Amino acid sequence: MIPSSVPTDYSSVKPNKPWQASSKDRAITAGIFALSVLISSVSVKLTGFSGKLGFFASFVIIFIVITASREYLRFGNALAKDTFVNTLVAVGAFITVIPIVSIIYTVVSRGYKGLYPGLFYRDMSLNAPNDPLNVGGLGHAIIGTLLLVFVALIISVPIGILTALYLTEIKGKLSRPIRFLVQAMSGVPSIVAGLFIFSAILLPITKDNSSLLGSLALAILMVPTVARTAEEVLNLIPNDLREAGVALGGTQWRTVAMIVVPAAKSGLITAVILGVARIAGETAPVLLLAGGGDKFNYNPTSGPMGSLPYYIWRSFGAGSEEAIARAWTGLFVLLLIVFALFAAARFLGNRKVGK
């Protein structure tokens, strides 16, 4: 005889998931949230604890007090502490996100005004930064940045990947010191890299600005990024592949060139893209070495070369309303480039290594 309280049709019974928040829990949390907003907005109005900062602080304190004391009454001390920490770390994460949202919002809202088609194919040789926004452009700056980055890429990618290969394939006695040195190199301030090229090449040899020198300084900054990311990628290649290559009679050179590197191809491209993203907006060495050109220059070895950071820097320094708007537009374009590079790196990085 089945008791009548036990259902016979189990299709209508939903499984219990005690580890998930039930809709009742969610409603209570939302209620506490709304209550905290209410209390803190009242306190902002009535007490001296005012402004956005005051609101945020009082909201966090009130929310923490209510949730923690509720947990304390329901389950006791341990759970109350857990809730307290949970809210605290969530607030930390929220604080981390605020500046990036503000940065993107500011750049987009102030930068879109200066956009017009001519921006991308005109240069500033006949215009000052203070001119109205519908004349002049940053075509020369985009070309300059592309040339700077491209030459730096040619120099630094082989060095970076060779360093990574040494660390993963040869694993010699020097692995540990080299890993140390790559780490140290990634900490070299960009201005010091610029000063180094200035003192080693510009002062004694060329005595004049050129974008090639800028690229050399950028290469110094790019090598560690490429090397470290490539090392991580090459470490992911299963050792079986290497052993299989050697067992088939391949030399180490053939194994690395025909098996390991092709298997890691998309990861290595990600490493290069991350390196490019690191240097695309680098300002200080470009200001020291590449000079600042206001017209199209396609020759990396001579003459001042414009670049996006220089364009932004110069417009920002000019100070008038139009010039500042130009700087924001330049930042908008630079941000778009960084976005595109980052998305490309994500896309390639998410694909499985070994394909």
Partner 1 sequence: MSTTETTYVIPEKRVVTTKPRFSDKVFRGVVTGGGLTSLVVLGLIFGFLLYQGYDIFKSQGLGFITTSRWDVTFDDAGNIISSDFGLSAMLIGTIICSFIAVLIAVPISVATALYLSFYAPPAIKKFMVTVIDLMAAFPSILFGIWAYAILMPTGAYWAKLLNKYFGFIPVFSNEQQVFDSSPFIASLILVIMIIPIVTSISREIFSQAPLDRIQAAYALGATRWAMIRAVVIPHGRSGVIGGAMLGLGRAMGETVAVYTVLNLVFAINWKILFGVGGNVASLILLKFGEATPYEIKALMAAGLVLFILTLIVNFSADLLVRSFGGKGK
Q: Name which of residues 252 to 311 contact partner 1 (CB under 8 A).
A: 252-254, 256, 274, 277-278, 280-284, 287-288, 309
Residues 12-71 that bind partner 1 (CB under 8 A): 51, 53
Q: Which amino acid is at 37?
A: V
- Number of residues engaging partner 1 in binding (CB under 8 A): 92
Among the listed residues 64, 142, 147, 182, the single contact to partner 1 using CB under 8 A: 182
Q: Which amino acid is at 170?
A: I
CB of 342 to partner 1, least distance (A): 6
Decide whether 252 or 301 has the Cβ nearer to partner 1.
252
Sign of CA dihedral 330, 334, 340, 343: negative
Inter-helix orientation angle 308-318/139-165, to 10°: 130
Site mask for partner 1 (CB under 8 A), range 209-228, x = bound:
-----------x--xx--x-
Among the listed residues 72, 135, 169, 241, the single contact to partner 1 using CB under 8 A: 169
Binding flag, residue 184, partner 1 (CB under 8 A)? yes
Among the listed residues 63, 149, 214, 313, the single contact to partner 1 using CB under 8 A: 313
Query: Among all chains, which residue has been given the structure tokens 């330049």?
Result: 330
Quote the tokens at residue 160: 């970076």
Among the listed residues 35, 85, 247, 340, the single contact to partner 1 using CB under 8 A: 85
Decide whether 109 or 299 has the Cβ nearer to partner 1.
109
Among the listed residues 39, 185, 269, 318, the single contact to partner 1 using CB under 8 A: 185
CB of 150 to partner 1, least distance (A): 17
Exposed/middle/buried for 100, CB within 10 Å: 0-12, 13-18, 19+? exposed
Nearest Cα neighbor of 310 from 337, 336, 335, 281 is 281
Site mask for partner 1 (CB under 8 A), range 116-145, x = bound:
------------------------------
Contact between residue 87 and residue 56 where contact means Cβ atoms under 8 Å apart: no
Binding flag, residue 333, partner 1 (CB under 8 A)? no
Sole window of 58-66, 130-138, 189-197, 235-243 interacting with partner 1 (rule: CB under 8 A): 189-197
Report the alpha-carbon distance of residue 317 to residue 8 in Å, rounded: 79
Name 198's Cβ contacts closer than 8 Å, sequence gap at least 6: 213, 288, 289
Binding flag, residue 196, partner 1 (CB under 8 A)? yes
CB of 287 to partner 1, least distance (A): 7
CB of 259 to partner 1, least distance (A): 14
Residues 91-110 that bind partner 1 (CB under 8 A): 91-93, 95-97, 99-100, 102-103, 106-107, 110
Which ranges constitute the DSSP H helices of 237-307? Answer: 239-247, 252-255, 261-263, 265-280, 284-289
Report the alpha-carbon distance of residue 232 to residue 1 in Å, rounded: 65
Name 338's Cβ contacts closer than 8 Å, sequence gap at least 6: 277, 280, 281
